[in-house]
Amino acid sequence: MSFSRRSFLRWAGAVSAFAFTTSRRSGYAALQAAESGGGFRKELLPSEKEVWDQLVWMAKLGPKYTGNEAHNAFVEFLAAEMKGLGLDVSREHYTFPRWDATRTALSAGPKGGSKSAVPVTSYFPYSGSTRPEGVTGDIVYAGSAPKFTLDGLAGKIALIDFKTNVRQWDHTYQAWGINPPAERFYASYKPARSGVNDLTQFAKAGAVGVIIGWTDVSDANAAYQYSPFSRPPQGVPGLYVGRESLARLKTLAGSGAQATLVLEAGTHEGSPTDTVIAQLPGTTSDELVIVNTHTDGPNATEENGALGLLAIAKYFSKIPRAERKRTMVFPMTSGHFAGPWVPSMRGVMQKYPEMIKKTVAALTVEHLGCREWLDDASFNYKATGKYEWSIAITPSKVMGGLMVDALKGSIDRAAVVNPVNGGWLGEGGGLSRAGIPTIGYIPQPNYLCAGPDNCEIDKLSGELMHAQIEVFVKVLHGVNRLSAAELKG
């Protein structure tokens, strides 16, 4: 179903949005107004158990890489649930060459001698594939990212390593507010993400395989990391190894040893995947609020934002339409993990410019319920007993104020920040760049891109996820009590 002008006017209604009479009223004042006289009603929220049961079901599907069976099942569930709530549901359909890895193995030893197994932590997505017997070649150490030596790699297996990038939050962000105020926000953070983003240079150099070594995180932290994502085909198979395996392989590389690398993977041309867009009509004809997320990801937190959207939609669907001042649009996009082919939120924005023009505010919901897991000084990966820092990104002082006030007395370790030096992450950046007052809610745990069979469900908190959803609903009530001009600030 397309967003034609006629259909937009039909489902958006015909009444102007209610606005405050003073442009100064924002932040806490708006939130106070929202919680009285038809504002926030806690009893209308889905229960914590209902949301958690959906999350457990989602995790049991397995990793939801773009367009795979688990992801398609999740998308169908979301579409059916939104339709069951009475929302108008439409889809954007895409096809692309889906790449799936099925088996990895690595062994190494003296040239002409027997080889022994080398533990593998994960594979480089969309890197390449081998036959079941793999590829064999001399191990050549080609350096540490970002500088590599590419000479003499033809017919060889390149061994490289990297240091994990540190995110300098004290440089990137200025805080609108911290909850609780006494909590100290990290000055920097080093999540487990690959420091190697391109293998095509090794393919061009003639390497038959690439081994990539983690140098500064534990093997448990590095395990199953699906990183980097949204890369085009690399043309050469790549595997990751942990610190001990890297040290062993470096020693072997200096003695003329060989490795056999196995990465069995298949490319499925024409694989289907859908973006779902649900709409809950309000009483305004020309003002919309977008609440968006993506649906693909390797585990139960990346991405569970769609379950948050489902809970928000269920809450607001119980409120009489006359009290819903603006139409709410819920894009649940595919393609976050297959960006070269499927455009995710960018595709929605490009196809429906009228929708973007009508949008007065946006809330992007990603990565809910995260507990903090870190490596200690001895490279033991374990829970800290704290929640992961929740980061709400917005350059809008008004939206920042709404979020800060909604967080009061709620979620511990939450930072509402202005991205003064870059720092926009996730699906909200494009909306903000389009001039829409936007909040991008995006915790960033170490395990965000890890894809084990249990989908990291053991690292998540149902209590936290439910509290986050409550905060989002309060923010949206505050948004709908402000005029478009007030939201612009």
Residue matched to tokens 């809330």: 363
Helix/strand/coil for 83: helix
Kindly give the interhelix angle for 397-407 and 462-480, rounded to the nearest 10 degrees.
130
Closest CA to 40 of 483, 484, 485, 475: 475
The partner residues of 101 in beta bridges, in order of sequence, read 265
Report CA-CA distances (Å) from 206 to 88, 201, 210, 256: 52, 9, 11, 18
Q: Is 79 helix (H, G, I), strand (E, B) or coil?
A: helix
DSSP state of 319: S
**In contact, 307 and 58? CB cutoff 8 Å:** yes
pLDDT attached to residue 276: 98
Q: How far is CA 16 from CA 13, 44, 251, 275, 362, in A?
A: 9, 26, 71, 29, 19
Classify residue 50 as exposed, middle or buried by CB count within 10 Å of its CB (0-12, 13-18, 19+). middle
| pLDDT computed for residue 378 by the predictor | 97
Helices (H), 293-377: 305-317, 344-351, 353-358
- Rounded alpha-carbon distances, angstroms, from residue 125 to 137, 143, 218, 238: 22, 21, 20, 8
Decide: residue 468, CB within 10 A, 0-12 exposed, 13-18 middle, 19+ buried. buried
* pLDDT value of position 67: 98
Token pair, residue 439, equals 């909040």
Is residue 381 within 8 A of residue 308, CB to CB? The reply is: no
At residue 404, the 3 state secondary structure works out as: helix
Scanning 318-352, the segments in alpha helix (DSSP H) are 344-351
What is the rounded distance in angstroms from the CA atom of residue 116 to the CA atom of residue 130?
19
User: What class does CATH assign to 98-165+190-267?
Assistant: alpha beta
Question: Which two structure tokens, joined as six digits, stand for 59?
Answer: 């995790």
Q: Where are the domains of the chain?
A: 5-97+269-488, 98-165+190-267
Mean pLDDT by 10 residues, the chain (489 residues): 35 29 39 54 97 98 98 98 98 98 97 94 97 98 97 97 95 95 93 96 98 98 96 97 97 94 97 98 91 98 97 97 95 97 97 97 98 97 97 97 95 95 92 97 97 97 98 97 95
Helix (H) or strand (E) holding 95: strand 88-109
Q: Is 87 left (phi over 0), alpha (psi -120 to 50) or beta?
A: beta
Residue 115 buriedness (CB in 10 A; 0-12 / 13-18 / 19+)? middle
Instruction: Give the residue from 26, 92, 474 showing the smallest Cα distance to 294.
Output: 92
Positive or negative torsion for Cα 5, 75, 333, 85: positive
Q: What size, in residues, is the chain? A: 489
The widest CA-to-CA distance across the chain, in whole angstroms, is: 83
Would you state the pLDDT for residue 43? 96
* Cα–Cα distance measured from residue 194 to residue 98, given in angstroms and rounded to the nearest whole number: 21
What's residue 38's pLDDT? 55
pLDDT of the residue at 36: 39
* C-alpha distances out from residue 111 to 55, 240, 259, Å: 49, 22, 9
| Same CATH fold assignment for domains 5-97+269-488 and 98-165+190-267 | no
CATH number of the domain at 5-97+269-488, please?
3.40.630.10
Which pLDDT does position 449 carry in this prediction? Answer: 97
Q: Are 124 and 212 in contact (CB under 8 A)?
A: yes
Neighbours of 292 (CB within 10 A): 28
pLDDT in the model for residue 422? 86
pLDDT, residue 254, reads 84
pTM for this model (two decimals): 0.91
The residue written with tokens 């096809």 in the block is: 95
Choose among 131, 219, 116: nearest CA to 450: 219
